[in-house]
Amino acid sequence: MRIGVVTFPGSLDDRDAARAVRIAGGEPVALWHGDDDIKNVDAVILPGGFSYGDYLRCGAIARFSPVMTAIIEKAHEGMPVLGICNGFQILCESHLLPGALIRNDHQHFICRDQTLRIEDVSSAWTSSYTLGQEIVVPLKNGEGGFVADDATLDQLEGDGRVIARYVGMNPNGSRRDIAGIRNERGNVVGLMPHPEHAVEALTGPTTDGLGFFASVLTSLAGSR
């Protein structure tokens, strides 16, 4: 199973995302922001970092890179796409997901081991979890507050499209403790915390993050 990992100028967690794919049993494929070819990959991860230095707005410039044109088109056709942190911001800027991510309410960058509750297991990226399962993965962001208008939030919740919520504490002021959401079809997921940093007991707080990568491999296998 070939999982593309995009490198934008300023991407930081691209190596980590590729490692997570490898550990989960997939084949990571490096994709370059300037290419419009996504090399026949089966799914794509938009990794964390500061694409284009967060200039203008987080993700606002990356959204217009050639590779995104191809990814947006494929996403509409059902290809699984996971945006982590800056990748989530890019997905919102691309209008593949609703809402926006704004500066943390406490104004500081925050790095901590964060407890999340998985609230939807129907998406391509969360199917290997059990509903209500609590996991601990690193969170690290400066602009991780998820916001949307109340109608959108109500609809996300009503449709079961909130895939994960913060538990214990809300680290960035996200509305309704939302840590991640999916699109209607369930193939596109945006997540602020970093599951790719929780794939080895040696370097992560847990290995709870592996489920995201295992999920997509299972979903893809099932759809073949």
If one asks whether residue 173 binds another protein (CB under 8 A), the answer comes out as: no
**Among residues 57, 103, 133, 142, which is the contact residue for another protein, using CB under 8 A?**
142
Instruction: Kindly name the residue from 93, 119, 143, 194 that is annotated as catalytic.
Output: 194
CA triple 8-12-18, angle to 5 deg:
85
Q: Does residue 132 contact residue 115 with C-beta atoms inside 8 Å? A: no
Q: Is 109 in the site for another protein (CB under 8 A)?
A: yes
Of the candidates 39, 76, 108, 185, which one interacts with another protein according to CB under 8 A?
Answer: 108
R_g (Cα) of the chain, nearest Å: 15
140 neighbors 113 (Cβ within 8 angstroms): no
Answer for the pair 162, 120: CB distance below 8 angstroms, yes or no: yes
Among 189, 219, 207, 224, CA closest to 23: 207
- Strand 178-182 vs strand 162-167: parallel, antiparallel, or unpaired? antiparallel
What is the identity of the amino acid at 114? Q
In the complex, least distance from residue 211 CB atom to another protein, rounded to whole angstroms: 17
Interface residue with another protein among 37, 39, 53, 159 (CB under 8 A) is 53
> Which part of the chain contacts another protein (CB under 8 A), choosing from 128-136, 146-154, 198-206, 212-220?
198-206
The binding site for another protein (CB under 8 A) comprises: 9-10, 12-13, 15-16, 19, 48-50, 52-55, 108-112, 138, 140, 142, 194, 196-197, 199-200, 202-204
Active-site amino acid positions: 85, 194, 196
